[in-house]
Amino acid sequence: MDLWFTEEQTRYLKLSFQVKEVLENKHSHYQNIAVLDTENFGKVLILDGYIQVTQLDEFIYHEMIAHVPLITHENPENVLIIGGGDGGTAREALKHPTVKKITLVEIDREVVEVCRRLFPETSASLEDSRIEVICEDGFSFLKNTPVNYDVIIVDSTEPVGPAQSLFSYDFYQTAKKALQDKGIVVAQTESPFYNRELLQQSLNHVKNLYPLAGLYLAPIPSYPGGLWSFTLGSKGNDPRQINYTETCFLKHCQYYSQEIHKNSFILPPYFEKFMEDME
């Protein structure tokens, strides 16, 4: 059977890949959840038609969203992950020995269930005793939590559907209140080529709310345009000037390194100019 999946990357751009087998395809309360086995990417998790995780390149995304804020903080103990039901971000956060507790708030219980079954390489982390998985809306959880976190990681889906509120000014403001004095928030903020307005908006929210703001990039071949952005707000250390108080986790990294961390904040001139023009 010649079976293909097609993702609408933009209104005018589609990526299609050949499917060996449909391992899962169902509707949860929140979204469509599909897992496909493919030649090009290995197993792929797709939510509402958008690629979330592929076995080919998930390590790049998960290492960059986790290690950059955690190493910038220097002594992260208490971590909140919003989204990330596949467990990949949690897996990376667990590599830091300072981390005592990770609270993972995933809105969709069925994403966690599907990933526990079909993505053991990311979801095995969820069995760790330092992890608590809570299935509810991440923004609501954040508004009501009495805890102050060292690092909040927003590992969300696209800014349509259940994740929409996670890109708002209110969200970043609420996150700031739920952070310790030297706390850090980081969020995936889409393609710098195809979704610049959202990225600019997120960065402006962070610049207006946090003493330090940063934008960093990583190449992720299965995502639109192959380059992804992350926006970081810090009440403490500058992510561009870091002291490696801990380096053991580096030997378990495939993409992240000290040089890659530094370089990921260097933007090309046209992109710097674009970001300035938007201010």
Q: Would you please indicate which residues are annotated as catalytic (active-site) residues?
A: 155
- Least Cβ distance, residue 57 to a copy of itself (angstroms): 8
If one asks whether residue 238 binds a copy of itself (CB under 8 A), the answer comes out as: no
Residues contacting a copy of itself: total by CB under 8 A: 42
Residues 59-98 that bind a copy of itself (CB under 8 A): 59-60
Residues in the chain: 279
Q: Residue 235: which of 154, 165, 173, 142 has the closest Cα?
A: 173
Candidate list 22, 147, 266, 278; residue touching a copy of itself; CB under 8 A: 266
Q: Which residues pair with 53 in a beta bridge?
A: 45
Say whether residue 18 binds a copy of itself (CB under 8 A). Answer: yes
Helices and strands, number each (H, E), in the chain: 9, 12
Let me know the angle formed at the C-alpha of 53 by 70 and 272, rounded to the nearest 5 degrees: 60
**With binding defined as CB under 8 A, does residue 42 bind a copy of itself?**
no
Distance in angstroms (rounded) separating the CA atoms of residues 95 and 113: 23
Of 118, 134, 242, 260, the residue at the interface with a copy of itself (CB under 8 A) is 260
- Nearest CA to 153 among 116, 100, 189? 189
Piece of the chain touching a copy of itself by CB under 8 A; list 25-33, 174-182, 206-214, 256-264: 256-264
Two tokens at 231?
A: 């926006």
230 binds a copy of itself (CB under 8 A): no
Q: Does 16 bind a copy of itself (CB under 8 A)?
A: yes
Q: Is 39 a binder of a copy of itself (CB under 8 A)?
A: yes
Could you give phi then psi for residue 177, rounded to 5 degrees?
-65, -30
CB of 135 or CB of 260, closer to a copy of itself: 260
Q: Which residue has the tokens 């929409």?
A: 164
Q: How far is the CB of 94 from a copy of itself (least distance, A)?
A: 19
Residues 6+ apart with CB under 8 A from 125: 87, 88, 90, 91, 94, 131
132 class by beta-carbon count within 10 Å (0-12 exposed, 13-18 middle, 19+ buried): exposed
Tell whether residue 135 is a contact of a copy of itself (CB under 8 A). no
C-beta atoms surrounding 204 within 10 Å: 17
Using CA atoms in the order 68, 7, 51, 226, what is the torsion angle rounded to 10 degrees?
-30
Provide the minimum distance between the beta carbon of 13 and a copy of itself in the complex, in angstroms, as a whole number: 5
The residue to which tokens 């003493």 are assigned? 211
Task: Evaluate whether 194 touches 10 at the Cβ level (below 8 Å).
Answer: yes
Q: By C-beta, is 101 or 240 nearer to a copy of itself?
A: 240
Using CB under 8 A as the binding rule, whether residue 40 contacts a copy of itself is answered as yes
- Applying CB under 8 A, among 176, 180, 219, 237 the residue interacting with a copy of itself is 219
Q: Segment contacting a copy of itself (CB under 8 A): 28-36, 139-147, 148-156, 265-273?
A: 265-273
- Interface with a copy of itself includes 17 (CB under 8 A)? yes
172 interacts with a copy of itself by CB under 8 A: no
Binding site for a copy of itself (CB under 8 A): 4, 6, 10-18, 38-40, 56-57, 59-60, 191, 193-194, 217, 219-221, 223-227, 253-257, 259-260, 263, 266, 268-270
